[in-house]
């Protein structure tokens, strides 16, 4: 007997905040991903194949307004210290990745932690490299603030959106004392 795949409706909308485009993606349950301009407003094919092999896209700004994401992102990029914890999330990743990503949600606005400190905070003190790798796969930058995680040497170390963007986000939160001595190839 052939099993039919359930088609998942994926909503999207592009906002221009912080002088760049951010494409928001959601299911009916919550926010699933935020794409940078560098992602060219598309979802990674391998990610879709794994988590939504049968899907359809719908442009819909309303669902993001309903979730509160639009207003919170606009406030954040206007320099307001806000929390994104009220936005419903529908995280697609391994259980370990989801554990790391939810650990990111606990880093307050204007604070930074090291990868080691993040690993300890989620009860995985020996998994620093795995935590870094999961951090690099974070589907919800800004909302789950992976930009607030730095190397133990006090440098940025890397960011999927580029070190310049990581510095801009930290500066927006009043953090200006972190050096950019990291290397772009480290996508933690």
Active site residues: 146
State phi, psi for 171 to the nearest 5 degrees.
-60, -40
Largest CA distance in the chain: 61
> Three-class SS string for the chain?
CCCCCCCEEEEEEEEEECCEEEEEEECCCCEEEEECHHHCCCCCHHHHHHHCCCEEEEECHHHHHHHCHHHHHHHHHCCCCCCCCCCCECCCCCHHHHHHHHHHHCCCCCCCEEHHHHHHHCCCCCCHHHHHHHHHCCCCCCCCCHHHEECCCCECCCCCCCHHHHHHHHHHCCCCCCECCCCCCCCC
Residue position matching structure tokens 């995280």: 91
Distance spanning both ends of the chain, measured CA to CA: 43
């Amino acid at each position: 007997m052939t099993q039919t795949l359930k088609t998942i409706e994926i909503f999207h909308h592009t906002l221009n905040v912080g002088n760049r485009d951010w494409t928001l993606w959601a299911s009916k349950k919550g926010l699933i991903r935020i794409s940078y301009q560098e992602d060219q407003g598309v979802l990674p094919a391998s990610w879709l194949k794994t988590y939504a092999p049968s899907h359809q896209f719908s442009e819909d700004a309303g669902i993001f307004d309903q979730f509160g994401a639009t207003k919170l992102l606009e406030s954040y990029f206007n320099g307001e210290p806000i929390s994104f914890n009220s936005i419903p999330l529908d995280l697609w990743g391994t259980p370990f990745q989801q554990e790391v990503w939810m650990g990111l949600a606990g880093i307050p606005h204007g604070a930074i932690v090291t990868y080691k400190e993040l690993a300890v905070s989620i009860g995985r003190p020996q998994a620093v490299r795995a935590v870094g790798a999961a951090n690099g796969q974070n589907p919800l930058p800004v909302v789950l603030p992976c930009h607030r995680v730095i190397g133990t040497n006090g440098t940025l170390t890397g960011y999927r959106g580029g070190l310049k963007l990581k510095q801009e986000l930290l500066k927006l939160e009043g953090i200006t004392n972190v050096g950019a001595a990291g290397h772009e190839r480290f996508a933690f």
